[in-house]
Chain A
Amino acid sequence: MKSSVRRIALDATMLALALALSVAESFIPISSLPGFKPGLANIIILVLIYRFSWSEALLIDIGRIFLASLMTGKIFSLPFYMSLAGGILSYLGMLLIAKCFSKVFSIYGASLFGSVLHCLGQIAIASILLSTSGVFWYFPLMALVGLFTGLAVGFFADRIIASGIFERLRL
């Protein structure tokens, strides 16, 4: 019983953190790349995938996309669908690396892969919904910048897990 209460509290805290990072990064201006976000919320998703369970990670990923869109007034608009597609595709990529290729790649590899897939998901859905392939012009540059933010995200996720905070909290 105690353990499930702790787990609910952990999920709520993780969702709040992911949401705060999601909203905070929308204030980082990278004006030459439309809609580009560093994907800081992926730090939380990576920690959940590697330290807890894939289902909690999925729930929190989708939950924070819905809540962040509600908070910024973008729910069910094109940027919302771009976030959703990018978020789900990057989650699937990171999960694939974590579960199937964990002997080859570490959390850094999962983060890099997730970051590039996040850009691809956003561009692909924008291309489908706007019926234009023109937006694919942005992909190489977005993915290039995404590689470095992916490295940073992987570093922070790795440090959080290595800090042993979850062991100290008996989670």
Chain B
Amino acid sequence: MKAKAFLQKHLGDIILFFVLLFATTLGTIFLLLAPTSSASGANIFCDDVCLLYLNLSSPQESVIYEEERVKELDPSLYGEEVEAAYEIEGALTPMVFAISQEGIAVLSSGCPSQYCVSLGYTLDPRKPIVCAYNHVHVEYVGEIASLPPSSSSSGVDIIV
């Protein structure tokens, strides 16, 4: 009797819960089964301005678009696996990006959550590197010639 009354009272809620559960589970499964990236590079944007292009196949050929906001660092300071390292000026604090065989990582950031740092090395679009605090995000790209699509930068400042 109690169960019947409960069902009558909460039938709409139960249906809503299972519809949402089905939709979100399906979305999560799709997300987990999606193909991983075969990107050859990545653009680093801050406030819709492309600051830097990281060339993953040849880190030394990365491109700095905003010289006053990006500084090349000595990669050996960050360990043997690091092939190139850059410090960029985020909206609020500086961030250090590094390239290794495993992909791209944020080595340090002044953001309180440290979520971007906790991702470690990644090339996986299912784990997009986003730092909301610094307004920074990373977009993977296939070819260096195809970028930067939404950059308001006037052009290339320096090729390292």
Q: Are B16 and A113 in contact (CB under 8 A)?
A: yes
Interface of A is mostly: helix
| Chain A proximity of B26: nearest CB distance (Å) | 8
Interface size class of A (residues with CB under 8 A): 20 to 34
A126: Cβ under 8 A from any B Cβ: yes
Check B142 for interface membership: any CB of A closer than 8 A.
no
Inter-chain contact B20/A135, CB cutoff 8 Å: no
A108 with B13, Cβ < 8 A, contacts A31-B118, A116-B20, A147-B20 known: yes
B17 near A: Cβ within 8 Å?
yes
For B150, the closest partner residue in chain A by CB is A131
Distance of A135 Cα from B128 Cα, bound (Å)? 7
Q: Is B73 an interface residue (CB 8 A)?
A: no
Taking CB atoms, residues of chain B closer than 8 Å to A164 are none
Partner of A140, one of B16, B17, B24: B24
Check if A143 is an interface residue, CB within 8 A of chain B. yes
Return chain A residues, CB-CB under 8 Å to B126: 137
Q: How many residues of B contact A (CB 8 A)?
A: 36
What 1/0 mask marks residues of chain B from 23 to 60 whose CB sits below 8 Å from any chain A CB? 11111101100000000000001001000000000000
Q: Do B10 and A108 have beta carbons less than 8 Å apart? A: yes
Question: B2: CB under 8 A from chain A?
Answer: no
Q: Are A132 and B24 in contact (CB under 8 A)?
A: no
Given known pairs A78-B133, A106-B10, A144-B24, the reply for A134 and B139 (CB within 8 Å) is yes
Q: A112-B16, A147-B21 are in contact. Are A132 and B139 (CB under 8 A)?
A: yes
Q: Tell me the complex Cα distance, A104–B125, Å.
A: 39
Collect the chain B residues with CB atoms within 8 Å of residue A77's CB: 91-92, 133
Beta-carbon contact of B20 and A139 below 8 Å: no
In the complex, chain B residues whose CB is within 8 Å of the CB of A1 = none
A-B interface, 7 closest residue pairs, ranked by CB to CB distance from nearest? A140-B27, A134-B128, A104-B12, A144-B24, A109-B13, A34-B115, A108-B13
Given contacts A78-B133, A132-B137, 12 further A-B contacts (CB under 8 A): A35-B115, A77-B92, A108-B17, A113-B16, A126-B132, A131-B150, A135-B137, A137-B126, A140-B27, A141-B24, A144-B28, A147-B24
